Structure formats: structure tokens, C-alpha cells
Amino acid sequence: MNLKFTLIVLILFTLSKITYSQSVSEKKSIAIFNQFCSTCHGEKIEAFVDRKWTHGKKKPDIIRTITEGYLDGGMPSWKTTISKKEIEKLADLILKKMKTVEQYQFNTQKTDTYFSGKMTIKLDTVGTGFDSPWGLAQLPDGRLLVTDRAGFLYIIEKNKNRTLIKNTPKVLAKGQGGLLDVALHPDYQSNGWVYLSYSKPEQKEGSSLSTTAIIRGKIKGDQFVEANEIFEARPYVSTTHHYGSRIVFDKKGFMYFSVGDRGKHFEYAQAIDNDLGKIHRLFPDGKIPQDNPFQSQGNVSAFSYGSRNPQGLALNPFDGNIWENEHGPRGGDEINFIKSGANYGWPVICYGINYDGKPITNISEKEGMEQPEFYYIPSIAPSGMTFVTGDKYPEWEGDILIGSLRFNYLERAEVDNNKVVNSHKELLNVGRLRNVKMGSDGYIYIAVENPGMVFRLISK
């Protein structure tokens, strides 16, 4: 009996030593990766699921790449810095982390019924025939305003037919530009103001330029009337992407809206003397709040800066704070809690790498720059954002919902004390999810692309 017991103890001790040894070995590999590799390949090793394997992705290929490097592609040789054994363990670590890509390999079968905890979610088709339904807003009578990025504003009637609203602003419907967000004035029932964001074109010295602009007007019949522009981002640039363009009002009646860095000159996002790469705050009529943080530096509308391409902006109805999501490069999409005067770091700090695989920056933290509440590697391409309220979705109440353009699902983030504490993938394969919005009727509405459709989520 004692001999058997002794043998069992020895076996268990041996197994624990093996397990501990493996754990220590992986921890050492992670430390080596963080020291020598993370500045180019991202802090989270899962970044490797989001790359093209130019030189092969089997273990011998990875070992050869780390050992010999590819200087023309920016990859140095590490054979004089990292031992052969350590390089082999690094390859094992990378291969193990590559398996995380499986979480995005969804069954491609289409469905109109989904399950989340004890809830059954069904898609109720509200509108069809759009190119890219970008902005959503619900009128007091239950009808929906929908912007189509191609340059059109529609009202979806209760019978699900749609009415084209004429006389909306001319847009540059190219690249990521077009007619973008739509929002209602907090006192819409008494004043009728409707706000549109769009890519405004300009011809200058033979060059085609554009910027993000905000206009407000009223809808009478099928016409957009009494229109006046209340914001125009400066400078105009030649690129046709990173417009940002979400609009949201807070409980005090301030209007917040996002402007992207426009994807050409990264330095715009860190400079206060321009409007790009920032969250702005105005009164609904375009006037400047006197407590905006950068007035003494010459930027009267900016509320925060250091953003890349914020395509989600939402009011937390439980405490009145503003949140945003923004596209990172390859990796590093962010969820941020927006604070007055804060610097969100782009491009000085970042958790992603450039599209060509080269580093944008070698740091992800810096004093005086905000850390994201949550970040994504690989990138999910976030767009649209809303907080869940009411009793129709009891298991989601208080959570943030975000559309994933890249992976075709609804991202659900749990929030506790202004911190994202967990995330979930919902509505897998629903489509390129461009926007998600809580309607005034208590239902969640989503807009997807290719083909462009709008759905109401029915929970049972």
C-alpha cells in the first residue's frame, strides 16, 4: 500500500515538474517575444492570425525567418541575439497563438435566428435595397431615417416601404466617403432639426479634396429644407477615407461628433491646430461651449484628440458619459471612454502595426496619453455603437454593442464602472455590420452591407 502510494506521488510530482517546465518555457518565450518582436508584430501574439505569410507559416519556415531574417522586408536576423533553442520555442509559441484565428472561422450558413444565453434573437427585416446603410435614427412616430453612403437619405415607412428625401447635400461618394451619419436634435418633436454628417468635396487648383462636414435641416414632405452647415473640418485633404463622422447628443444637449485623421498625415491627430483625428463638441446650433478644453490653443470645437478613425460614438444613458470606438491599423481597434482634453495617443502609442507589416510606433503606453478601455487584435473593423437599455434584452442590458465589418458579427462588451470587463460575439455571419442603434421604441436596429439591409432584433 505504501509502495503504491509512493509511486503515485512520484508520478504526480514528475508530471507537475513537466507541466511547470512547459509553463516556464512558454513564459520565457513570451518575454523574448515582448523584448525583441512585439514592436513590429504587436503586443498580443494573436496579431499573427492577421497577416500574409510571405515566407511560409510552418515551423521550419518560421525558424528560418527568425534566424536569417528578410532585410528587404524589414525583418532582421536574430541568430546572434536569440539562441537556436529559444528561436525554436518562439516558433512553437507563434504556431500555438495562430490557432486563435479559429474563433473567427464561423459557419457560413445564413440564418434569421440566433441564441444568446437564454434569449432567442430573430431578425425582422425592416428595409432592403441599400448600398451601405450608414446612419440610423428613429423618428417619434416609429419610422426610421436611414442614410445610404451612396448619397441618399430615406425614411423607412411603417409598411417597410421607403421614401427618398431630396435636396440633401452633395457628397463625395468615393472610398469611405458619402452621406454618413444621421441624428435628431434632443428636442426634435418641438423643432424638427435633423443632423447629417458627410464627406464634403472641394476642387482646388485642379485637385479633388474633401473633408468631414455637419449640416442640419428639416424634413418637410420629401424635401430636406432650411439646411445650414454648422461644422466643416479643416484642412481638406486628398484622401477619401478616415472621415469618422458619428454624431451623438448628451443629456445636457451638447452635440459630439467624430472626425478621423483622414489617413494621410498621422501627425494631424496629435496637433491641436487642425480638426482631424478628434472628437468635437458644439451646441446644437453650432455655437462654441465656453468650457471646451482647447480654446486657448486656437481650436474652439475639439473636445479630445489623438484618434485614428472613430466610426462609433455613443452616450452611456446610465451616467451621461460619451464613449467611442475607432479603427486601428492591423490590430489595435479601440473602445475609449471620452474625457475632456484627453489625448488618446494615435499615432504615438498604438497596439497595432501598419498594413505593410512595419511598426507604426515602438510603444503602446506613454504618460499623458489615455489607454483604451479595450482593444482588439486582430482588428474587427468596428462601426456603430450603442448601449442596451430597457427590458426587451434582459441579458444584454447595460452592455455596449458594436458592429464588426470585418468578421460579420455583433460585438457585445460588458461594462462595469466605466471599464470593459468582458466581450462576446453575437449574430455570427449576420453580414458586414455597419451600424447598431437603440431605437426610441426599445428595439435594437442593425444595418448591414452587401446587400444593404436594416433589421429589427426581436428577443424571445
So which residues are the catalytic ones?
242
C-alpha cell at 236: 481638406
CB under 8 Å to 447, separation ≥6 — which residues?
130, 133, 134, 136, 146, 384, 403, 433, 434, 435, 436, 453, 454, 455
C-alpha cell at 190: 418641438
C-alpha cell at 15: 508530471
CB under 8 Å to 352, separation ≥6 — which residues?
42, 47, 328, 329, 330, 331, 332, 333, 360, 377, 379
For 55, how many CA atoms within 13 A lie in the half-sphere containing its CB? Answer: 16
User: Cell 508584430 sits at which residue?
Assistant: 41
| Contact by Cβ (8 Å): 148, 162 | no
Smallest CA-to-CA distance from 333 within 404, 275, 412, 430 is with 404
- Dist. CA 177–CA 311, nearest whole Å: 12
* CA torsion, ordered 400, 404, 408, 411, to nearest 10 deg: -20
For residue 117, is it left (φ>0), alpha (ψ between -120 and 50) or beta? left
φ, ψ dihedrals at 95, nearest 5°: -60, -40
**What string of H, E and C letters represents the secondary structure of 124-177?**
EEEEEEECCEEEEEECCCCCEEEEECCCEEEEECCCCCEEEEECCCCCCCCCCC
SS3 42: coil
